[in-house]
């Protein structure tokens, strides 16, 4: 049976890790959303150079492991004379990695908005950026919300890599509790439960959004 | 940065060896995950009382956990309950647990994508449930599952790098060893393995995309050539 005294004795440590996991996930979600929108707009812009740069970013980042991006920032930058904490390196790596996936979701959302909307916006005198900002993006966002929710779930799960670089998240504190108590099995079961507290409700909510969107079209 | 030193023949061969481990572990894991994932997916699809519910619960729990946690667990926690696995076995086991759950969802949505009318038609033409699954539903569903399975394999290949935390001698781990020799090797080595991961995964993603286009055109053309009435007539013979 599970030894619940491990949970109750270390509840402060667990909660600190839990809150930091939540913090890094939210922070990375905001940063990757901003970066993702920029890249998505680059990919569908009329300028060939921007399109190419956007595509190159998405294809390259999507096809390399997240932990490699983290290691480049955590172990690679110091050799260029720039030190980052595990938390900072983790947030940057998560944001860059997730941005590539969010950019794809947003691009799909934008492309699903009827072309006539862009033409109408442009011919009524708005600039390309204005049409995007006021006409296309507000409509695209509805379609983009369920995949964004999925990316947030992935972010919460992926944030566990912070544990590898002492990033003060749930995984990291799980590790420190288990080295203090010499217990592994129970400690990590409780870590798992803390992750599930975040991810299961999120999955249910995203599933609900997906079904609702499927009905309304 | 020392590109020439980092890219010495010895280092390159050592990294290639790591790539070999990455590919091998990913390949073994995807095969077992596909087998287990298919069983789980079919069990969930079949809506057997109690059993399907238990499978659904397990799949959802595993899908919502970080893979890194599962890797930690199989290597550090299982010995506490008497299951001692080598590094390679722990990595493969963790990947299979996680990917089986992922693949079961692909299998289930592949099965769900086959129109219900097909089951009804097969059943009313006298086939048993098992025969219907084997001859009618599975062959069609399998073809539709191939592109997402290739995509999942790409994820798996990337995820294999997480086993660096238990020192599986895969590509990232070997890169870290090369980096340990000289600080100036770090950036060149990481750039090189990033390119290696990219080349392997990008070519796989091109395969996935081609299969997807082929699958989509297939579905369209069979729809045109064989209308529902014609298919029903064929089954009668």
Contact B137, B111 (CB under 8 A): yes
**pTM for the predicted model, two decimal places:** 0.90
Q: Summarize pLDDT for B198-219 with one digit per residue, the tens.
A: 999 999 999 988 888 887 787 7
Best residue of B64, B152, B197, B208 to probe chain A, by most A CBs closer than 10 Å? B64
Looking at the structure of chain A, the number of domains it has is 1
Burial (Cβ within 10 Å: 0-12, 13-18, ≥19) of residue A26: middle
What totals of helices (H) and strands (E) does chain A contain, helices first?
10, 0
Decide if A56 touches B, using CB distance below 8 A. no
Give the domain extent around A157.
4-216
Distance CA B219, CA B225 (A): 10
Domains in chain B, number: 1
Contacts of A183 in chain B (CB under 8 A): 80
- Chain B hits for A153, Cβ within 8 Å: 64
Measured distance CA(A141)–CA(A125) in Å, rounded: 23
pLDDT value at B230 more than 80: no
State the residue range of the domain holding B59. Answer: 3-236
Q: % helix / strand / coil in chain B, to the nearest 5? A: 85, 0, 15
| Predicted confidence (pLDDT) per residue in A146-166, tens digit | 899 999 999 999 999 999 999
Q: Read off the CATH number of the domain in which B80 is found.
A: 1.10.3720.10
State how far the alpha carbon of B50 is from the alpha carbons of A204, B44, B53, B54, B56, in Å.
Answer: 20, 10, 5, 6, 10
- pLDDT at residue B82, as a whole number: 92
A200:B187 CB<8 A: no
Tell me, what CATH number does A30's domain have? 1.10.3720.10
CB contact under 8 A, A71 and B190: yes
- Contact with chain A for residue B181, Cβ under 8 A: no
Q: Do A65 and B1 touch (CB under 8 A)?
A: no
Sign of the torsion formed by the C-alpha atoms of B4, B7, B9 and B14 = positive
* Mean pLDDT comparison of A49-63, A137-151, B135-149, highest-scoring range: A49-63
Q: pLDDT tens across B31-70, in order?
A: 999 999 999 999 999 889 999 999 999 999 999 999 999 9
Q: B155 CB near a chain A CB, below 8 Å? A: no
Query: Complex ipTM, two decimals?
Result: 0.90
R_g over Cα of chain B:
22
Separation of first and last alpha carbons in chain B = 73
- State residue A81's pLDDT score: 86
User: What is the pLDDT, as a whole number, of residue B221?
Assistant: 61
Is the pLDDT assigned to residue A82 strictly greater than 70?
yes
A vs B, Cβ pairs < 8 A, gives: 112
Per residue in B2-42, pLDDT (tens digit) is: 888 889 999 999 999 999 999 999 999 999 999 999 999 99
| Burial (Cβ within 10 Å: 0-12, 13-18, ≥19) of residue B235 | middle
- Do the Cβ atoms of A192 and B76 come within 8 Å? no
């Amino acid at each position: 049976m599970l030894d619940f005294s491990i949970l109750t004795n270390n509840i402060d440590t667990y909660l600190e890790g839990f809150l930091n996991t939540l913090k890094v996930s939210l922070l990375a979600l905001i940063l990757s959303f901003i970066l993702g929108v920029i890249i998505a707009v680059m990919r569908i812009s009329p300028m060939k150079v921007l399109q190419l740069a956007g595509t190159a970013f998405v294809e390259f980042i999507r096809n390399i492991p997240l932990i490699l991006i983290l290691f480049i920032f955590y172990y690679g930058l110091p050799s260029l004379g720039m030190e980052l904490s595990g938390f900072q390196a983790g947030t940057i790596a998560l944001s860059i990695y997730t941005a590539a996936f969010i950019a794809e979701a947003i691009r799909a959302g934008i492309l699903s908005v009827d072309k006539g909307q862009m033409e109408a916006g442009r011919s009524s005198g708005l600039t390309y950026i204005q049409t995007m900002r006021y006409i296309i993006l507000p409509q695209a966002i509805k379609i983009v919300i369920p995949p964004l929710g999925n990316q947030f779930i992935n972010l919460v799960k992926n944030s566990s890599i912070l544990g590898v670089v002492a990033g003060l998240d749930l995984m990291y504190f799980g590790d420190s509790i288990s080295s203090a108590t010499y217990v592994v099995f129970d400690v990590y079961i409780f870590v798992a439960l803390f992750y599930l507290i975040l991810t299961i409700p999120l999955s249910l909510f995203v599933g609900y959004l997906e079904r609702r969107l499927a009905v309304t079209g | 940065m020392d590109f020439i030193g980092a890219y010495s023949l010895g280092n390159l061969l050592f990294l290639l060896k790591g790539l070999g481990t990455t590919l091998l572990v990913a390949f073994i894991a995807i095969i077992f995950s596909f087998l287990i994932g298919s069983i789980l997916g079919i069990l969930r699809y079949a809506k057997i009382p109690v059993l399907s519910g238990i499978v659904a619960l397990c799949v959802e729990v595993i899908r919502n956990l970080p893979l890194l946690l599962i890797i930690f667990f199989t290597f550090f926690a299982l010995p506490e309950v008497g299951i001692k696995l080598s590094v390679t076995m722990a990595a493969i086991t963790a990947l299979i647990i996680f990917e089986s759950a992922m693949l079961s969802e692909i299998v289930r949505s592949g099965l769900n994508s086959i129109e219900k009318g097909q089951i009804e038609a097969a059943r009313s033409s006298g086939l048993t449930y098992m025969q219907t699954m084997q001859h009618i539903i599975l062959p069609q569903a399998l073809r539709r599952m191939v592109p997402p399975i290739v995509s999942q394999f790409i994820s798996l290949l990337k995820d294999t790098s997480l086993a660096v935390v238990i020192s599986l001698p895969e590509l990232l781990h070997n890169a870290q060893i090369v980096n340990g020799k000289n600080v100036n090797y770090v950036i060149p080595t990481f750039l090189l393995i990033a390119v290696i991961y990219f080349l392997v995964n990008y070519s796989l993603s091109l395969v996935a995309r081609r299969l997807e286009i082929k699958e989509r055109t297939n579905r369209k053309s069979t729809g045109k050539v064989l209308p529902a009435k014609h298919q029903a007539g064929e089954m009668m013979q």
